[in-house]
Structure 1
Amino acid sequence: MTGFVRACLLGGLSLGLMSCQSSSPVEAANVPAPVVQAEVKAPAHDVQQIAATTAHPGEAVYKQACAACHDNPEGTRAPAKDTLKQMGLQFISYALTQGKMKDIGATLTADQRGQVINYLIGAKTAPNAWTSAMMCDAARLPVDLAGGASITNFGFDQHNTRSLTAAQAGLTKAQLAKMELAWAVGFPDATGMRSQGAVVGKNVFVPVADVAAMYAFDISVADKPCLQWVYETRGGAPLRSSPAYGVVDGVPLLVFSGMDTTVHAVDARTGKAVWTRTVGTYSFSTTTGTPTVLKDRVIVPVAQFEIVYGGDNAVPCCNNHGYVLSLDPKTGEQQWRYDTMPEATHQRDRGDGKSLMGPSGAPIWNSPVVDEKRSLVYFGTGESNSPPAHKNTNAIIAIDLKTGKEKWSFHATPNDIYNIGCDLKSKPELLNCTSMPETVFRDVDFGASVILGTHSDGKQLVYAGQK
């Protein structure tokens, strides 16, 4: 089947957020998510023959375009069909039109996309009536940031220590053993949370990936949180990073990013956008790592998921790579850009007249460390996706905070040329794989964020765990 591996990538996580209100479900935000109402029409081309023997037209589309991977999750690493059925309308709709499944979605008509979504999850809308029931009263509606931030980004602080003092946490170690659940909020239609919240003053700011929204909750009353505002992204791109918090010229900013590489800067007091900027350069660029907000810049890591397309002969591999940006915190304008490697060029013919390109890879999945004392930014990178394997793949890299110039790079695992398509247990002849040289083929990214810490001898070290 054309696009064999592309049909394997509609991902979703099953996570719960244990933090916001018991019993009242939280669903979509103040702008309704897209509604897909599938019409029962005869699908086109070869799907028609399958439709004649199935009860639902979407089943025919599923069997033709999706089943090869999603009915074989162990061999393809794709989410199983039962997992797809738990996903939300907005998440699947985005995946088929703009996300990881957009190439598969492009082979289907709008009716067929609607039919397969309807077959998997039913005809849903994303209700938003919950907001009025959970909105704060007049006394708690204003966002109260007094007391400062205790969790400002994914690593809790600029060094990614993920450590809080008792004062910041509001807990002592002795109290941990006696903790009980105070409240929880569930987000229907969201199978994946993906990210943690930021905690500032009496507020927690929570991103919900699958519904592409950021929620602001007042948590000053121990057993009764309430909703202050909701920010929805345009286009429905799932959010991927945690929110980063910082104050720029008196404006408290939350900065976060989504699967479509759009970086959002939002006023924490109002939930209104200050600026947005889409930073993706390549067709498979994405953002997962959390930005860092400083007084004079926002540091943004950029990854790419071209790794999953190596098993598709229709896509000559590979020309994407990771990079880091410095953006103006007031406007979102780019200040500098650091690329992990030069642009890919033709390396050899795959055997069918198309190019095998390289170097490629080094996605930056993680949240960088900002070391203002040394004016450096540290981060880890992923594998190479095509030869030659560049020195900045599977590496820890330090760049200048003010200029983006590379200062040093530690190459932990050379010659790790990897893509998912070449590692499938059941696969056709894959031109992007057979033309590769010998490789360790281990896929040993630095997926987790690096940490800047102090050793017992007083020296500061960069710590990193490799996959």
Structure 2
Amino acid sequence: MLLRTSRLAVLSGLAALALAAGLNAATPTRIKSTEEMNSRAGPTINPETAPGRPLFEQHCAMCHLGGVPKAPSPNFLAMLAPDAIVSALTNGVMRQQAASLTPAEKIQVAEYLTKTPYASYQRPAPPPRCKGAAAKFDMTDIPADIGWGHDNRRFIPANIAGLAKADVPKLKLKWAFAYPAATHIRSQPTVAWGTLFVGSQDGTIYAFDPDTGCTKWTTRLSAEVRTAIVADAATKRLTFGDLLGKVHVLDALTGKEIWASRMSDHADATITGTPTLGGGLLYVPVSSLEVVQAGNPAYPCCTFRGSVVAVDPATGAEKWRAYTAGQPVPQGKTADGTPILGPSGAPVWNSPTYDAATNRVYFGSGENYSTPADDGSDAVFAVDATTGKRIWSTQLTLGDAWNVGCMMGLGSCPKEGGPDYDVAASPLLIDTGAGAKMLVIGQKSGQAWGLDPETGKVRWMTRLGHGGTQGGVHFGMSAEGSRVFVPINDMADTGDARLYDPAIRGAGLHALDAKTGNVIWQAKAKDNCEGRKFCDPGISAAVTSIPGVVFGGHLDGMLRAYDADTGAVLWQYDTTQPMPALGGQTAKGGSMSGPGAAVWKGKVFVNSGYGMYSHAPGNALMVFEVAK
């Protein structure tokens, strides 16, 4: 099923300049390098002059620039911790290839890739280990099937949340943790068996005591923990995905790894959406950062295809794979003479939604990375949960092929030129009464959609913002009953020379009726950035609801609790302020994006810091509870 959607909310190039003059708006900017989108904390190294550059080119480039499948590209290696790279070269998977390098040269390679002086990378002492009763797991606190990985509606019932609406204004910071050497945190906290589980940028998974912040165990893996930690009550296991596209399964009580498996052979594959448990299988969404590679006009773009992979949760053995985009084949050359391969892309950024009643899995896709745009991009899919066979697909935006070359005005930009309207958030399957259901979709176009889950037919569409490259719905909606809470990002300047109509900017939180798409209320966010770099008022992070309350973290670092009935702000906290943290450290948040809040027994757990893609860095895990 194909559906054409409007692009009138966004203009680029000369049209944008003309409209800017007419609206008396600021002229949109265009980045010259992807490095302009990164916000770093601490000293950096110039990769052009770094002594590790010729070492990488001589010893590593042949494999990591596409010569060997599964060898992570420099885009991924740049996001690893420096000591993780040195460890891999010394004692890990790359020790044989790096055997001829001296210890100093291995450090130089790590510095070149991460742009971080090794001497400045200081890991503080770990949090204190729990003793006595705090070290024990509460086996009566059995995790419910809620949140990413189980139920994408992100609603926490009263018996688990333990937080009344009337008490929300009394929330105070209980304790904070400063993630070591972190600028962003993209792992959703999970509470199970009386323990707070969360991952970090350097690949460490923490099992915290929720009351004191001491740790029951910690386990460090090789790459950033990218998703929610999914707790399985039946097996007492934790499941999550990492930056390098691996799924990991750990013993929840010891932190010992049971199995790990990479979900794609593509060098740029990653896992952004949380793997979902259901029907005896684990459904893993596969996305990629090959879209960034096209920022190099000499890169032959592109060969990645988005997919959902079903694996055995006990072993990781693949059962089926459902692709989104077609098979890439040569499509000519760019004006620079670089080969074009397509169709490609259509990554799956979101956590799949499993429906036991119909034995179906629903998920959405992003844009194609290269010409030609096909019917697999910006689409919603329904597949058989047992076989992966496609039942239906509905494309919400036609002709969307886009990559980072478009931001920079390069010849690697596909002729379609975007508009980059991913279906980035998970589909929500909502009961609308009398046995009827609606599949509610949020899109980066700034639109929310209601689809018939049986056929994929569009029942309604509601525009909530102008959308764009960093606009519309990003990481996740929430629902209480038939009310759906839709966060809208809608950055005003996305660094790609596009101008967005401020009259329909929707940055903030919106409530819709799932049956009709009618707006119940809108709470647009005030812009308090006052010119601060990497500051925007919108909501990119997933939102979380409890009875009567919606928690939303904003890109300006404000964490707010909204009245679910009216949209009024009940409570707010500025996470960008310095906070005393465990071990005598100082935690400081930044932009809030990716994961949202977790609520358990009267406590609210949330991360702050997203130092990438033109957002502000931070390193804070915060725990709030009602002041006593």
Q: So what's the TM-score if we normalise by structure 2? A: 0.54
Cα–Cα, structure 1 residues 321 and 362, in superposed 2: closer, same or farther, change >3 Å?
same
Structure 2 letter corresponding to 1:257: G
2:34 aligned with 1:8: yes
Tell me: higher relative CO, structure 1 or 2? Use CA pairs within 8 A at least 6 residues apart: 2
SS class of match (1:464) = strand
1:197 aligns with 2:183: no
Q: Distance in 2 between matches of 1:182 and 1:348?
A: 59
Q: CA deviation at 1:275?
A: 0.9
1:146–1:11 Cα change, 3 Å:
farther
Q: Is the 8 A contact 2:80 2:202 kept in 1?
A: no
Distance 2:40 2:335 in 1: 42
Shift of 1:321: 1.3
Q: Distance in 1 between matches of 2:40 and 2:144?
A: 27
Counterpart-to-counterpart distance in 2, 1:213 and 1:377:
30
Q: Distance in 1 between matches of 2:230 and 2:133?
A: 26
Q: CA deviation at 1:88?
A: 5.8
Partner of 2:213 in structure 1?
A: 225
Contact 1:13–1:192 (Cα < 8 Å) also in 2: no
Larger CA deviation: 361-370 vs 178-187: 178-187
Q: What is residue 216 of structure 1 aligned with on the other side?
A: 207
- Structure 2: give runs of 5+ residues left out of the alignment: 1-30, 56-77, 94-104, 445-628
C-alpha separation between the residues in 1 aligned to 2:170 and 2:107? 54
2:141 is matched with which residue: 123, 144, 147?
A: 147
- TM-score when scaled to structure 1? 0.71
**Partners in 1 of 2:183 and 2:293 — Cα distance?**
24
Work out whether 1:244 is the aligned partner of 2:230. yes
Give me the whole-angstrom Cα distance separating, in 1, the residues matched to 2:364 and 2:423: 5
Render the CA deviation track for 1:185-238: whole Å, top value 9, x for unaligned: 221311111121111131110111x1111111122xx4x2321011211xx211
Cα distance in 1 between the residues matched to 2:357 and 2:440: 17
Q: Is the 8 A contact 1:159 1:371 kept in 2?
A: no
CA displacement at 1:414 relative to structure 2:
0.5
Counterpart residue identity of residue 148, structure 1: I
Greater fraction helix = 1
**Structure 2 CA distance for aligned equivalents of residues 205 and 300 of structure 1:** 20
- Calculate percent identity across the aligned residue pairs: 32
Q: Quote the residue 1:453 is aligned against.
A: 430
Q: How many residues align?
A: 376
Q: Report Cα offsets for 1:80-118 as digits up to 9, x if no partner.
A: xxxx9x9964589799999xxxxxxxxxx7565455579
The residue that corresponds to 1:26 in the other structure is none
Which 10-residue stretch deviates more, 416-425 or 114-123? 114-123
Note if 1:365 corresponds to 2:349: yes
User: Which residue of the partner structure matches residue 403 of structure 1?
Assistant: 387
Give the deviation of 1:125 after TM superposition: 5.1
Change in CA separation of 1:93 and 1:317 when aligned onto 2, cut-off 3 Å: farther
Aligned Cα root-mean-square deviation (Å) = 3.6
The alpha-carbon distance between structure 1 residues 270 and 294, as it changes in their structure 2 partners (threshold 3 A), is farther
Distance in 2 separating the partners of 1:267 and 1:216: 11
Distance 2:137 2:39 in 1: 30
SS in structure 1 of the partner of residue 153 of structure 2:
coil
Question: Is the 8 Å Cα contact of residues 331 and 341 (structure 2) preserved in structure 1?
Answer: yes
Gaps of 5+ in 1: 16-37, 52-56, 62-83, 99-108
What is the alpha-carbon distance in structure 2 between the residues aligned to residue 265 and residue 115 of structure 1?
A: 30
Distance 2:199 2:271 in 1: 14
Q: How does 1:19-418 map to 2 (within 5 A)?
A: 89-90=82-83, 110=106, 112-113=108-109, 116=112, 120-121=116-117, 123-124=119-120, 126-127=122-123, 129-131=125-127, 134-150=128-144, 152-154=146-148, 158-208=150-200, 210-219=201-210, 222=211, 224-233=212-221, 236-248=222-234, 251-294=235-278, 296-350=280-334, 355-418=339-402
8 Å CA contact 1:159–1:453 kept in 2: the answer is: no
SS of residue matched to 1:346: strand
Partner SS for 1:199: strand
